[in-house]
Structure 1
Amino acid sequence: MTIADRWLLPDGVDEVLPERAQVVEHLRRQLLDLYNCWGYDLVIPPMVEFTDSLLSGSGSDLDLMTFRITDQLSGRMMGIRADITPQTARMDAHSLRREGPSRLCYAGTVLHTRPRGPLESRTPISIGVELFGEATVAADIEVIELLLQSISSAGVENVHLDLGHVDIFRGLLADAGLSADSEAELFDLVQRKAARELGQWIEANISDPQLAGWLNVLPSLAGSVEVLAAAREKLAGAPAAVLAAVAQLEEIVAAIAERNVTVYLDLGELPGYHYHTGVVFAAYVQGYGKALGNGGRYDHVGEAFGRPRPATGFACNLKSLVSQSANNYAAKQGVFVAYSSNPAVTEQIAALRSQGERVVQGFDRQQVDYNELNCDRALVEQDGSWVIQKLS
């Protein structure tokens, strides 16, 4: 690499410069304060862990997204975290071991081996919450409401919330007796909503006419909240787990009805199917091609640590939230103080900083650019006293 190229960063790895970094940090603090008000305790997991722990119960997708390094002390394989959720599950199961519901929140950079989508960063700043130890739909409602509150606090408007539930598809197949390969084929067809191919596959592989009918209508159960009434009708007689999942979605929709959010339901959309165990959700805004935040229930993640606990949560990318924010987080400009050896100047600077002012002290013979220093005022001596003057 030549000297001229040494400023280049790897594809998908981005830096955050001062002006935007100030906005990102402001929002990080704001959201962590919000989570604290809801009773969520901040945790700071390590950047690296042994892969045996970091990838336990997380599925193959996260495995492929994780960079691996060798620990020079133990010789064991370590991973650089691509997701913080498994780390919080380990902390809940092993480090904290609380008996009742445990609410945890976090904020930190994660690293991905490849972008999750076109033009996406491989170093998102992940912020989110996890609620352990509560199996009822009330916990799912709480984290969904907190996701919506997070996006609202970031100044993002006209949010669309996508809702689904993996127990609908899983419940329909519980007694179907399909092999893993056949289930994977069916899963792919449902996700692609390939109606003609799906119908042909079902005709060739599903002998139960009632199950065949349910599977054929599944891709069509997508749209506004009226989809739930249609699901009740078209999935009548389905296994109890399927009807319970529909009931949970109805309860969630009712709970957030007063929020200014457009709800979209897709009962055949199954993100994280092999990882999630219940409701799944994601928040979008028109014109932005990726989710601002997503999450769901994942009750089995603690099993690898010997303490399975019900769990639900969400995560957002702080950079994405900032990019879509309508809030004006313009940083407060500072006070410039020219170089002086006068002890009184030092006292004035200390007093201003104790009041929360940004104070930039100049150096001897410094050429001053107030824009670069982000200062709009100056401390000057006037008639024996110190005053702050506005810079033109």
Structure 2
Amino acid sequence: MNNRWLLPEYIEDVLPEAAWQVEDVRAKLLSLFKSYGYELVIPPHVEYIESLTGIEGDDLNLKTFKLVDQITGRQLGLRADMTPQVARIDAHLLNRMDVTRLCYAGHVVHTLPAGHFSTREPLQVGAEIYGSKNLTADIEIIELMSSALKVAGISEMNVDIGHVGIFRTICELAKASPQIVDQLFTALQTKDLPSIAELTINWEESLKVAVLALPSLFGEAESVLATARLKLPTVPAIQDALETIERVCVHLATIGVRCSVELGELRTGFYHNGLVFTAFAKGWSNPVARGGRYDNIGQQFGRARAATGFSIDLRDILRGLSTPSGKMSILAPDSQEPELRELIAKLRESGEIVRVDISGGSSDELAWDRKIVKSVNGWEVVSK
């Protein structure tokens, strides 16, 4: 049996109408980013593995397909996330001193799907700001993310706000080993309270209570932040983080974006170290966007830079929307008459879809509602 037409698990083709929808929305998103002053970069699909997975934690390492470079013998990787690549471009190639806004749109490849019904070949679209620790940068990124989702077709969403710095500060106060930090990180993502309790069994009681409280600190901003201020250590780093979350939530309310606070939110990735956010929408089982602050991400490339950004999987978003039917077109006869060719060219320049009927008048393969016919007045477009 010939199975050459089969594709690997969680890998799929994008067929004509959906493909045009993807490209149309991608163009609109890049136009939106450009209007905010973001510059487009196009990193390569393949790099040396150290550049793609050199960030703290093994999350990206596990997601990355690896292969051997036939020229150098060194190990290469298929990119699983474009953020490290964009950080490399900012730190090493652009090497600017001031604020830099960069955006991108391209496919990444994962060894395993990120969630239910996810593809292993997401179309990652995102924007990032380098060189600013100011909260206004984070607010701009979240506002841009909200606008991008609306452009993609999601009119209503809820943004969960968290802060990885709270978790990391508690671990620092407890003098936890890197191994314990990584295990706690994983346990918090699944709200595994027994594992959290076991990992912190020898901690000071107040710190144990604090980290066990994180999974339950989610919901409406005002009440969650009030509870957090009572249960979490009153150290400057944590109080500043709570103040940051509060200011972001207040701003989102002014622009009509619903938000919640989730202090156990660590799903965005190992390299985030500050404010993080995840957008959800009705009808999607997975988050529709995620991002946050990842200061010093450029350090592995020799130049640490403050950074914040977000990304979306455009294919996953559009999978949850209805695919528009193909735009109606005009059917033209198969003729090389100069007047007809001139009319066809003008129609195409005006945005019309004109297909030449090469099937001898029996073409029904695509939708068309008008056709070009020859009358006493010359060539003209008439209804089907």
Q: TM-score range by the shorter chain?
A: over 0.9
Question: 1:149 maps to which residue?
Answer: 147
- In the TM superposition, what are the counterparts of 1:192-271 in structure 2 within 5 Å? 192-195=190-193, 198-199=196-197, 202=200, 204-206=201-203, 208-225=204-221, 226-235=223-232, 237-271=233-267
Give the whole-Å Cα distance in 2 for the aligned partners of 1:87 and 1:201.
34
Question: 2:173 maps to which residue?
Answer: 175
Q: Secondary structure at the match of 1:290?
A: coil
Cα shift at 1:140: 1.0
CA contact (8 A) 2:63 2:111 kept: yes
The one-letter code matched in structure 2 to 1:24 is V
Q: After superposition, give the CA deviation of every residue in 1:143-167 in whole Å (9 maximum; x if it has no partner).
A: 1111111111222133121111011
Cα shift at 1:286: 2.4
Of 18-27 and 330-339, deviating more is: 330-339
Question: 2:43 maps to which residue?
Answer: 45
Question: 2:339 maps to which residue?
Answer: 344
User: TM-score, normalised to structure 1's length?
Assistant: 0.91
Q: What are structure 1's unaligned runs of at least 5 residues?
A: none
Give the whole-Å Cα distance in 1 for the aligned partners of 2:196 and 2:95.
45
Give the whole-Å Cα distance in 2 for the aligned partners of 1:373 and 1:221.
54
Q: Secondary structure at the match of 1:162?
A: strand
Question: 2:362 maps to which residue?
Answer: 368
Give the whole-Å Cα distance in 1 for the aligned partners of 2:249 and 2:185.
26
Question: 1:166 maps to which residue?
Answer: 164
Give the whole-Å Cα distance in 2 for the aligned partners of 1:67 and 1:193.
29
Count, aligned residues: 383
Give the whole-Å Cα distance in 1 for the aligned partners of 2:269 and 2:21.
35
Cα shift at 1:14: 0.8
Of 278-287 and 192-201, deviating more is: 192-201
When residues 201 and 32 of structure 1 are mapped into structure 2, their CA distance, relative to the original with a 3 A threshold, is closer
CA contact (8 A) 1:23 1:330 kept: no
1:333 pairs, out of 314, 328, 332, with 328
- In the TM superposition, what are the counterparts of 1:69-80 in structure 2 within 5 Å? 69-80=67-78
Question: 1:324 maps to which residue?
Answer: 320
Give the whole-Å Cα distance in 2 for the aligned partners of 1:43 and 1:276.
22
Q: Does 1:282 align with 2:297?
A: no
Give the whole-Å Cα distance in 1 for the aligned partners of 2:184 and 2:40.
41
Question: 1:8 maps to which residue?
Answer: 6
Give the whole-Å Cα distance in 2 for the aligned partners of 1:194 and 1:373.
53
Q: Secondary structure at the match of 2:170?
A: helix
The one-letter code matched in structure 1 to 2:147 is Q
User: TM-score, normalised to structure 2's length?
Assistant: 0.93
Q: Which runs of 4+ in 1 moved over 6 A?
A: none
CA contact (8 A) 1:27 1:154 kept: yes
Cα shift at 1:284: 0.9
Q: Secondary structure at the match of 2:267?
A: coil
The one-letter code matched in structure 2 to 1:26 is D
Q: Secondary structure at the match of 1:174?
A: helix
When residues 320 and 119 of structure 1 are mapped into structure 2, their CA distance, relative to the original with a 3 A threshold, is closer
Q: After superposition, give the CA deviation of every residue in 1:356-388 in whole Å (9 maximum; x if it has no partner).
A: 22111122x535323x23322111111132210
CA contact (8 A) 2:116 2:286 kept: no
Cα shift at 1:287: 3.4
Question: 2:115 maps to which residue?
Answer: 117
The one-letter code matched in structure 2 to 1:375 is W
Superposed CA RMSD in Å reads 2.1
Of 172-181 and 218-227, deviating more is: 172-181
Of 17-26 and 182-191, deviating more is: 182-191
Of 351-360 and 180-189, deviating more is: 180-189
Q: What are structure 2's unaligned runs of at least 5 residues?
A: none
Q: Secondary structure at the match of 2:380?
A: strand
Cα shift at 1:124: 1.1
1:380 pairs, out of 351, 373, 381, with 373
